[in-house]
Amino acid sequence: MRTLKGKKRSAEILIFILKILVAFIMFCPIIWVFSGSFKDLAEFTTSPGIIPKKPTLENFSYIFNNSNYFIYIKNTVLLMVLTTFGTLISSSLVAYPLARMNFWGKNVIFAIIVGTMMIPNIALIIPQYIMFGKMGWLDSLLPMIVPAFFAYPYNVFLFRQFFRSIPKELDEAATIDGCNKAGVFFNVLVPISKPVFVTIGMLSCVFWWNELTQPVFYINSDKWRTLTIALMTTFMYTSGNAFVINWPSIMAASTLMIIPPMVLYLFGSKFLVGGIKTSGLK
Amino acid sequence: MVPNKFNKKILKRNLTAYAFCLPWFIGFICFTLFPIIFMFAVSLTNRKLNGKSSFVGFSNYAAMFQSPTFWNSLKITIFFTVIMMAVTTVWAVIMAMLLNHKQKLNGIFQFFYFIPSVVPTISLAYAFRTIFGKDAGLLNYVISMISGKNTSINWMYDPHTVYLVIFFITLFTYNTGQMMLVFRSSLNDVPRELYEACDMDGAGALRKFTMVTIPMISPIILFNSVTGCISALNGSFALLYPLTGENGDPNGMTQVLSLLIYKEAFSNMKVGYASALSVILFLIACLFGIIIFAFSKKTVYYEN
């Protein structure tokens, strides 16, 4: 009996050690970025120890002094806020009849929405690029902001799943009270659905904060750069020493980009995790 | 006149529903359907980046099918997608099972396991470019410390190690974190009685895993794998472009179709040719989509 208990105990300890090991692997790149952002260029390129020998804040001041960093932040936040705002309104509106009403062609529309979820954005980016070029939208945030106001299939899908879980009796009660369909949506469904709005809003913010592909295709000039493109272009080379990659300042810029999603997770993990858990199912 | 009134009511309800769907309808026509048709049309021209174009028939496709770069890229795209799907799924299951084992501090562990998924891919790409770097890279440093010999392997640009490195990095993408969370909840839904029955039969942990856990979560594994394919097709650009560049170094070994599309359109300025490549990428995605759809009809339950 004793040995069985002892066996179980050592198994528990082994699993716990495994957990720590995996946590270490997963967090390693982030620690590396944090530590690199406090080293100077000479130390970064010669000694890869995790703890900086003489920590410096120079890299942070370098990126603020040598780039239009506040413009990049402004662009990224503008992009994030407007796309999120647009997709929350439009996607919830579209999801409502799909979840709560019977109408002709509903199944066809839903099938198309699920089908278009499968198309990778990158496959259509060339024709979209030409199209937005004809409209004069290139080199601005418009190619990313405007489509957000016309419902992303994935978000419609998430909203629909949530709306279906709300009891239909609520709609019926509101209809008897004299609400029309729009009234039911705004007065009944939206107030109860606050958690799903927060979840999809958070997922959207994280997506646009991190998005690289679309800005790379659509944005050229410095005044519309987002933080992700700035990371790729602006901080690449030290001014004095041509074609040397200034890694510590890239690490510093990365550190500044990594912190907001981490903070978001700390405060909103309930919404974020809950939302993602249901996204892959049903 | 009852039927007429009845019809009016139905008509009104339909029109209300369509009014709600209007944003999607406009978006679908303008930003999905039209680009698809337009993409096929442009792929039949020799359009340049500056907009000059004339009709050339199928010569873009003919050139494509004769180009070794294209075949290489197609091969790499499928290879990258399938392997990424496999390694991220396995890793996600491992992390989910560890987290579902009830112990203290699981909340903190989930933070560490999940956080790489929500940080920018480009930050991770740069972190790994330096970790696996030749000079002053963390990995070479650690190996030198352990072995006592001076190691300077150029992990990212060595044909022998590049895939090892790339697929290791895919463990840190959003897709892995998402799958981990989905697996966590589906692993919790496996009925306890099944495990208890195994205990009665005296089955070990490994047998329990292969006989109960895997079959019970298999629909989720398959569903996740196929959605993983789609995000691998889409997300590979944001991961590989900052890591290995548009040429997919070394020697095009990592040049997936999305990188080739970018290169042809912007560096070689051949937009017509890039459109033909996009058509192929679109068709690959459709193929995966059809697989998902056929599969989800069987195993994933949609009401109505």
pLDDT single digits (tens) B280-289: 999 998 887 7
Q: Say if A130 falls within a structural domain.
A: yes
ipTM of predicted complex: 0.89
A122, A142, A189, best to mutate vs chain B, most B CBs in 10 Å? A122
Residues of A in contact with B127 (CB under 8 A): 29-30, 32-33, 36, 251, 254
Q: Say if A5 falls within a structural domain.
A: no
Of the candidates B122, B174, B258, the beta carbon closest to that of A232 is on B122
A21, A24, A26, best to mutate vs chain B, most B CBs in 10 Å? A26
Report how far Cα B118 is from the mean position of its chain's Cα atoms: 15
Q: What's the domain count of chain A?
A: 1
CATH code at position A123 = 1.10.3720.10
Angle at A21 between CA A4 and CA B183, to 5 degrees: 80
To the nearest 10°, report the CA torsion of A176, A181, A186, A192. 60
Report how far Cα A96 is from the mean position of its chain's Cα atoms: 24
Q: Does the pLDDT of residue A140 top 70, yes or no?
A: yes
Q: Say if A20 falls within a structural domain.
A: no
Please indicate whether, in this complex, the C-beta atoms of A209 and B182 are within 8 angstroms of each other. Answer: no
Chain B: closest CA distance from residue A109 (Å): 9
pLDDT for A280 equals 53
Chain A: closest CA distance from residue B154 (Å): 14
- Go through the domains of chain B in sequence order and give each one's CATH number: 68-299 (1.10.3720.10)
Please indicate whether, in this complex, the C-beta atoms of B181 and A264 are within 8 angstroms of each other. Answer: no
Task: Please name which of B213, B87, B31, B196 lies closest in space to residue A121, comparing C-alpha atoms.
Answer: B31
Q: Say if A243 falls within a structural domain.
A: no
| Cα A188 to Cα A167: distance, rounded to the nearest angstrom | 11
pLDDT for A282 equals 43
B38, B123, B287, best to mutate vs chain A, most A CBs in 10 Å? B123
Q: Say if A98 falls within a structural domain.
A: yes
Task: Please name which of A116, A102, A18 lies closest in space to residue B32, comparing C-alpha atoms.
Answer: A116
Residues of A in contact with B131 (CB under 8 A): 28-29, 32
pTM of the model: 0.91
Say what angle helices B271-299 and A125-134 make with each other, to 10 degrees.
130
Q: Say if A224 falls within a structural domain.
A: yes
Please report, for residues A55, A179, B21, the alpha-carbon distance to residue A96 in angstroms, rounded to integers and kept in the order given.
54, 15, 9
Q: Say if A125 falls within a structural domain.
A: yes
Identify the residue with better confidence: B181 or A50. Answer: B181
* Number of Cβ pairs < 8 A linking chain A and chain B: 273
pLDDT band at B304 (very low <50, low <70, confident <90, very high): very low
| Cα B248 to Cα B240: distance, rounded to the nearest angstrom | 7
pLDDT band at B299 (very low <50, low <70, confident <90, very high): low
Give the chain A residue nearest B135 (alpha carbons): A45
Q: Say if A203 falls within a structural domain.
A: yes
Q: Does the pLDDT of residue A61 top 60, yes or no?
A: yes
**Where is average pLDDT lowest: A172-186, A249-263, B72-86, B154-168?**
A172-186
Chain B: closest CA distance from residue A184 (Å): 12
Residues of B in contact with A36 (CB under 8 A): 127, 130
pLDDT single digits (tens) B243-262: 988 888 888 899 999 999 99
> Is residue A36 within 8 Å of residue B125, measured between CB atoms?
no
Full domain range(s) for residue A100: 67-234
Residue the block writes with tokens 């410390």: B145
In sequence order, the β-bridge partners of residue B45 are B55
